Structure 1
Amino acid sequence: MGVEIRVDGLKKTFGRQVIWEDVSFTVPAGQISALLGPSGTGKSVFLKNLIGLLRPDRGHVWVDGVDVPELREKHLYELRRRFGVLFQDGALFGSMSVYDNVAFPLREHTRYGESKIRDIVMSKMEMVGMVGAEGKLPGEISGGMRKRAGLARALVLDPEIILADEPDSGLDPVRTSYLNQLFADINYETGATILIVTHDIGTARVLPDNMGLLFRRGLVMFGHREMILSSTDSAVNQFFNARREGPIGMSEEKDDATLRSEGNGGRSRARPAPIPPQIMPTNGRPRPYQARPGQWLQSHGVQAPPGSFVDDEGRDWLIDWDRLAGRWQEPPPPPPAPHKA
């Protein structure tokens, strides 16, 4: 099962440039979380701080009670075995076959024989739908296949935490949908904690259990998916509903005069868009921490935006959840009529 990641007061600078500061939130164990933000807000830098590739100027990253920035190189190397990382471009070795790329962490971190390595590699390749491509070089497969090969490599050590840096970057909407389904299935099967960094709001609206927004050199908000998607905070509402009105500009944040001209203060005047149903695992059963639709909203007295939780087939998940979640069963057939002599 996955473990919790707790970030406390994190700050990172490059020279005089402040990337973000005083970032604090908790990635719950065993759940899927997403961290979003406009381009240039330091999302990839944040992931590198989590695994110790970069060290923050200040703050803590607690992983199962261990403070990552304080670890010496030897212990940091050991901790990284608990992580599986999918880099933005797959980061495959171009001169190695897909099979050897996926096998690399096993050969680097274990003493397994080649027979066992092959069993593990092929099981992960099957999990991500890559069986048959193991003999090809990365340059001979599509971008989507390279992403899936990178994900298979991230899974071979059975990590407790999976970090994915913009897995949907460069993919068309259909391949992105398949990849999102794959993350839901992996979470169901492994129970790993998954943190996805992305700026794709389509992914964010349907996949994670929790999500947050980086903006203005800090964390605007982090919490349950329904909390974020129903928020009237101006930056959150603007970003997750892809609107021009709000504090986020073309390059950086808008100045005060522009915001006044829009009449936009700390709260957005625009109503949040309907909240879509969350992706279910392929087997149709909810993931261990996947909540009933509308549960957070109801428990916090928040009204769902009109049209929420209705899918493309017109099914209302607030009404049909029990059946859609696999817990609904047909009533038993009536007993046969008594035999008449």
Structure 2
Amino acid sequence: MGVEIRVEGLRKSFGRQVIWEDVTLTVPAGEISALLGPSGTGKSVFLKNLVGLLRPDRGHVYVGGGDVPRLREDQLYELRRRFGVLFQDGALFGSMNVFDNIAFPLREHTRKKETEIRRIVLEKMEMVGLTGAERKLPGEISGGMKKRAGLARALVLDPEIILADEPDSGLDPVRTAYLNQLFVDLNAELGATFLIVTHDIGTARVLPDNLGLLFRRGLVMFGPREMILSSTHPAVNQFFNARRQGPIGMAEEKDLARMEGEGQAPPAMPAPIPPQLMPSDGRPRPSMRRPGEWLARHRVTPPPGSFVDDQGRDWLTEWDRLVRSGQRPA
């Protein structure tokens, strides 16, 4: 099962460059969360702080009862075994075939026999759709296969937390859709906590249970998907609806007077909220919420056209029937 990650008052800088001042959030156990933000806002740096590869200037990262920045090296080593990390480019060893790349953590961190290692590796390869590619070298497989090989390697120690750093980077929209479905199916099967850093708005709008936005040296907002996608906060509204109008400019910072002027403009209507991706078997994951539940509880009217899928099915009114029949958004 997944483990909760609780971050309190995290600050990180490199010399005089402040990455973020005060990041506080809780990544719920067993759920899929995604963290987004413009380039240069420290998303990858945030992941490295979670696993202790970088230490913050101040603040806390609580994982399973331990405060990561304050753990001894031996404690940190043990904690990292609870994480599975999918790096942005797969980070495969070029001289090793796919099987040996995936087996590496088992050979490095366990005393399992080769017969057991082979069973585990083949099982994880089947989970990510790589059966038959055991002997191929990284240079002989596609970008999408490299991502899946990196994901299989992240899974071999049966982690409680899976971190993915821009897993859709360099993938076309079709492969990205397949990868998103794989994340949903793995979460349903394993119950692990997923935290995904991405730039892809399409992924952010349909995949996670929770969303967050880093911007201007801080965390603007983090919470349930419907809360974020219905928000009229200028930066959140602009980013998740991919609009030019708002405080986020081509450069990392905008002229202050221009930003203040934009802050006085009426917020744009959020785009329709799409249905959330369902597992392939059509059964909701334990952390999935009924469409419109958060909106109704907080008396927020959904944007027109929300929760209607590509087949014209209205998940706001037909959730129970569609779930009973095992159907899911296309």
What band does the TM-score fall into relative to the shorter chain?
over 0.9
In the TM superposition, what is the alpha-carbon distance from 1:322 to its structure 2 partner? 1.2
Does the 8 Å CA contact 2:124/2:156 hold for their aligned counterparts? yes
Does the 8 Å CA contact 2:282/2:326 hold for their aligned counterparts? no
Q: What secondary structure does 2:301 align onto?
A: coil
Partners of 2:168 and 2:116 in 1: CA distance: 31
Matching residue of 1:277: 275
In the TM superposition, what is the alpha-carbon distance from 1:168 to its structure 2 partner? 0.3
Does the 8 Å CA contact 2:283/2:326 hold for their aligned counterparts? no
What residue identity is the alignment partner of 1:320?
A: E
TM-score normalised to the size of structure 1? 0.94
Matching residue of 1:34: 34
Check 1:280–1:268 CA distance in 2 against 1; reply closer, same or farther (3 A cut). farther
In the TM superposition, what is the alpha-carbon distance from 1:325 to its structure 2 partner? 1.9
Partners of 2:167 and 2:266 in 1: CA distance: 30
In the TM superposition, what is the alpha-carbon distance from 1:327 to its structure 2 partner? 6.1
For residues 80-115 of structure 1, the C-alpha deviation after alignment (integer angstroms, 9 at most, x for no partner) is 000000000000000000000000011111111111
Q: What secondary structure does 2:302 align onto?
A: coil
Matching residue of 1:54: 54
The structure with more radius of gyration = 1
Matching residue of 2:315: 317
Does the 8 Å CA contact 1:246/1:268 hold for their aligned counterparts? no
TM-score normalised to the size of structure 2? 0.97
- How many correspondences in the alignment? 327
Does the 8 Å CA contact 2:210/2:223 hold for their aligned counterparts? yes
In structure 1, the gaps of 5 or more residues are 330-341
For residues 290-327 of structure 1, the C-alpha deviation after alignment (integer angstroms, 9 at most, x for no partner) is 01100000011110000000000000001111122236
Check 1:328–1:55 CA distance in 2 against 1; reply closer, same or farther (3 A cut). closer
Which consecutive aligned stretches of 4+ in structure 1 deviate over 4 angstroms post-superposition?
A: none
Does 2:91 align with 1:88? no
Does the 8 Å CA contact 2:233/2:267 hold for their aligned counterparts? no
Partners of 2:132 and 2:303 in 1: CA distance: 45
Matching residue of 2:206: 206
Q: What secondary structure does 2:11 align onto?
A: strand
Provide the aligned C-alpha RMSD in A: 1.3
Matching residue of 2:300: 302
Partners of 1:239 and 1:32 in 2: CA distance: 20
In structure 2, the gaps of 5 or more residues are none
What residue identity is the alignment partner of 2:160?
A: E
Matching residue of 1:250: 250
Partners of 2:264 and 2:185 in 1: CA distance: 38
In the TM superposition, what is the alpha-carbon distance from 1:266 to its structure 2 partner? 6.5
Matching residue of 2:262: 264
For residues 183-227 of structure 1, the C-alpha deviation after alignment (integer angstroms, 9 at most, x for no partner) is 000000000000000111110000000010000000000000000
In the TM superposition, what is the alpha-carbon distance from 1:274 to its structure 2 partner? 0.1
